[in-house]
A and B are shown apart, each in its own frame.
Chain A
Amino acid sequence: MKFQKKTGGKPFVPTASLPDIIFLLLIFFMVTTVLKTFTGLQVSLPSAEKIEKLESQRHVSNIWLSRDGTISLDDKIVPQSEINAIGTLMYEKRVADPQLIVSLKIDKEVEMGTLTAVHEQLRRADALRINYATLFKVTN
């Protein structure tokens, strides 16, 4: 039996499709990163030691409460007189996304009376998973 002699040639890895693969990677990362879409209000958050990360970014709704009492729900300003609108709006969000977590970004100077009113609205809307946004306190 006679074997055909292999044609001698330099072995090489085909790199022609490498840019395509990396492009795909690039596009994957661009699509999956959730960019910050809300600008919010000017708040200076309180700080705490025992803080946890929010599990997901996709199921988060933000409520801002600034020092002067302005309330903003996902970048929509809610007048103090129409605080009941929060409950209605949150209820719609909650129906659309049952895993909703409400992140409360509240200025440290805000009085508890206002916060309780917001709590009341969230309870009415059945949006019970909340998260008080805080900064990390560095302990010396």
Chain B
Amino acid sequence: MLVEKRKTHKAEIPTASLADIVFLLLIFFLVTTTINVDKGIPLLLPAAGQTRSVPKGNILNILINDYGEVLLQGEPIQIPYIQNEIRRRVQENANLIVSIKTGKKTKYEIFIAVVDQLKLADFNKISIADPEA
């Protein structure tokens, strides 16, 4: 019986495809990491104890009651119409400040809808008054 002599050759791990494998890993991580971006309505609260006197004529009062009904300067208004009303009033008086006053039991959703309307009118001078008891 003839035993064939084994050829000696250097053992090697093929590394040519390593780059591809790592690329695949990279792409996998890029795809699976969900960067959950927080979205929302930014607002700046006034500092504690900071009060500013504003001429009465520059204040526009928005009242929201517990049932989600909205009064704008004493007149009832539907929420989707606030945007245009604010735009109109800002044109009349550029120094306008909107004060939002809610009831204690007003739903947060209604409040956000009203703030959103103001933001839609590109209006940022919003003041939040303490709710009525």
Residues of chain A whose beta carbon lies under 8 Å from any beta carbon of chain B: 15-16, 18-19, 22-23, 25-26, 29-30, 33-36, 46, 48-54, 57, 60, 101, 103-104, 106-113, 115-116, 119, 122-124, 126, 128-137
Contact = CB atoms under 8 A, between A and B. Distances in A.
Contacts of B26: 22, 25-26, 29
Interface of B: 15-16, 18-19, 21-23, 25-26, 29-30, 33-48, 102-109, 111-113, 115-116, 119-120, 128, 130-131
A55 to B, nearest CB: 9
Contacts, number: 147
A54 B42 CA distance: 8
Nearest to B16: A15
A132 B115 contact: yes
A48 B35 contact: no
B21 to A, nearest CB: 8
A129 B41 CA distance: 11
Given A22-B23, A46-B113, A134 B29 contact: no
B104 A112 contact: yes
B111 A123 contact: no
Given A19-B18, A54-B37, A26 B42 contact: no
A134 B45 contact: no
Contacts of B30: 29
Given A46-B113, A48-B112, A112 B106 contact: yes
Contact of A49 (B42, B111, B120, B128): B120
A111 B19 contact: no
B107 A109 contact: yes
